[in-house]
Structure 1
Amino acid sequence: MLIEIFLPLLMGGALLAGGGEALVRGSAGTARRLGLAPVVIGVLLIGFGTSTPELLTSVEAARLGAPDIALGNALGSNTCNVLLIGGLAAIIAPMTVHKDAFRFDLWIAVTVAVTLALAMVAGPLTPMLGALFLLSLAVYALVALSVGASSAGGPQDTGAHGDEIAPVLWRSLAIALVGLVAALLGARLFVEGAVEIARLFDVSEAVIGASIVAVGTSLPELATSIMAARRGQSELALGNIIGSNIFNILGVIGATLMVGEIAPSSEALLRDLPAMLAATAALVVVILVLGRMSRAIGIALLAGYGLYLAVML
């Protein structure tokens, strides 16, 4: 019985992680061939790409009648991105932060987080709000792409002849497509397993969404940020976190609301939302005030995530 319940969860998590990584590799390869700036690759392509599991999982959860998992997943993932992923990346490979590179995107992340908080306090989250979020995401993506392309120059050549770019582009796109299919299947398995666990152990769906599902769907962000930090690419490591947080609110919650209205639970309002806002504030302090991600800061971030889990459980 337990094996039958946990097996879909484990299989779904593995497919989400593997599919998300393939999606990131394909997206990043495409971005490089098109000549996008490193910050755009980190924030827009990798950040958005690694949030695809959150998107698929939350939409599937809402479709299966588990809106608390859908909302808890998005809120919990943002908290996890900053405190767990940012903390581990800083401990493994401390980073110096170039403030100006992240200033615009960071304030976008703060703005959308505050907007979501006000909407949750005001009442049920409606499909109209979801449409507004998705429209805002499209505008932000277009601006980021335009600025990133103009600052980077042009498409990168792969050899002596320009026509060699096309095969590489197609290969990158194929990898991204395989990753998307794997993430789709993984999202369904993961949600089904999480719902069954919640019912078996009489744990609220909000807790499952903000813990197991949030961490599971954040595995691609974890792998990407740690790898980037080890290579000294702070723009990719932190850009991934910022871009993912923006996408989780505008894209994930926006698309989820198109499935149906969500009335935030008391757990989401009193626990998950304050935790997400606190994590966002911590990110602002680390990047714009401290200007570095030291091991001490990483330990403090991990301690904050441990406190969040202790309060949750």
Structure 2
Amino acid sequence: MLLDIIFILGGLALLYYGGELLIGGCLRIAQHYRVSPFVIGATVMGFGTSAPELAVSLLAALEGSPEVAMGNVVGSNIANVGLVLGLTALLVPVTIDKARFRLETPPLLIASFLLILLAWDQGLVRWEGLLFLAGIGWYIARALKDEEESLLHFEDELKWFRGKPIGFQFILIVLGLALLVAGARGMVVGGVSLARNFGISEWFIGITIIALGTSLPEIVSSTMSAMRGHGEMALGNVFGSNIFNIFMVLGATASIDPLMIQEPIRADLIFTTALTCMLLIMINLKHRLEKGGGVVLLSGYAFYVGAKGLGLF
């Protein structure tokens, strides 16, 4: 039990310092290349913090577990919106520029509805996976093409390694991502073992500790960005992560090995898209996600977990 507690505390420490390095490196790269925090959050941070989902889904597909691969993406996207942004907004209001919101909303909606359309028949074949991979290429090219060439003015609060060359900042980002993944892994291993020692069911472990552990990189990155006054980066992290999960993770797995799902997934597909639309509607009202919106999103996530546990869908 002591070892489990050490894993949990060590994981928390790695998450904190990993988040510090990731945010600091991303902000300095944004300054250097005159790229907005949203684009950095949607690409570097969003894709990077989804690395665990990519690894899990690819491994699951290769081992013949398509439900794990698909469920990993759908569950992660629900957690990113409901848990990550809900918790972030509960701690500090998250804002986004009106023009930026209008520009970045279509890719998220396209990815979400395309997932419903293609996976409605309980699977993804190879050509659909290749279509998703083309989608991630389109998204990255679009994000860079539409970026305004304007110098960012913000205070970099991270004092470590300031003044180092830009190549060193990329190293900091990679190191930060590695620490985030390792920290999440430590939290999951320690938490699962601790829960089993207390006789908690395997299912409950999966929907609480495991789900929380795989979402910790996004939680840390988004909350730290918002608390530093960079709400666009926090939103960009979730937008980019969800788009990456659909286009890249499912695209890569389905391209390697078609995903044929036996469990009914249509209700889950509808719920993840509905939660995403709810988020976009709330942001569109004030271009700001406040505590009330955070409560709504967290409630939506809690409802999903509870409904799945009770077998309501």
Partners of 2:63 and 2:87 in 1: CA distance: 33
1:98 aligns with 2:97: yes
**TM-score normalised by the chain length of structure 1:** 0.78
CA deviation after TM superposition for structure 1 residue 12, in Å: 11
Residues 94, 293 of structure 1: 8 Å contact kept: yes
> Alignment partner for residue 269 of structure 2, among 253, 268, 273?
273
Inter-CA distance 56–23: structure 2 relative to 1 (3 Å threshold): farther
CA deviation after TM superposition for structure 1 residue 185, in Å: 7.2
Partners of 2:183 and 2:255 in 1: CA distance: 21
Partners of 1:123 and 1:62 in 2: CA distance: 15
RMSD between aligned residues: 3.9
> Alignment partner for residue 311 of structure 1, among 307, 310, 313?
307
Q: One-letter code of the match for 1:89? A: T
* 1:233 alignment counterpart: 230
> Alignment partner for residue 217 of structure 2, among 205, 211, 220?
220
Query: Which structure 2 segments of 5+ residues have no match?
Result: 157-161
Matches within 5 A, 1:63-212: 63-148=62-147, 150-152=148-150, 168-179=165-176, 208=206, 212=209
Query: How many percent identity over aligned positions?
Result: 34
CA deviation after TM superposition for structure 1 residue 307, in Å: 0.7
* Structure 1 stretches of at least 4 aligned residues deviating more than 6 Å after TM superposition: 9-16, 183-198
CA deviation after TM superposition for structure 1 residue 255, in Å: 1.7
Query: Which structure 1 segments of 5+ residues have no match?
Result: 159-163
Inter-CA distance 144–96: structure 2 relative to 1 (3 Å threshold): closer
Moved more, 181-190 or 257-266: 181-190
Q: One-letter code of the match for 2:291? A: R
1:300 aligns with 2:296: yes
Q: Tell me the matched-pair count.
A: 298
Partners of 1:279 and 1:238 in 2: CA distance: 15
Q: Deviations over 1:238-296 (max 9, x none)?
A: 121111111111111112223311113434333x2122112111112111234332212
Inter-CA distance 37–291: structure 2 relative to 1 (3 Å threshold): closer
CA deviation after TM superposition for structure 1 residue 193, in Å: 10
Inter-CA distance 299–187: structure 2 relative to 1 (3 Å threshold): closer
* 1:50 alignment counterpart: 49
Q: Deviations over 1:191-234 (max 9, x none)?
A: 99999999x99967xx94x6654432221111121112222322
1:258 aligns with 2:277: no
CA deviation after TM superposition for structure 1 residue 50, in Å: 1.9
Q: Deviations over 1:115-137 (max 9, x none)?
A: 01111113420222222211211
CA deviation after TM superposition for structure 1 residue 147, in Å: 2.3
CA deviation after TM superposition for structure 1 residue 79, in Å: 0.9
CA deviation after TM superposition for structure 1 residue 168, in Å: 2.0
Residues 38, 232 of structure 2: 8 Å contact kept: yes
* 1:247 alignment counterpart: 244
Normalized per residue, which structure has more helix?
A: 1
**TM-score normalised by the chain length of structure 2:** 0.78
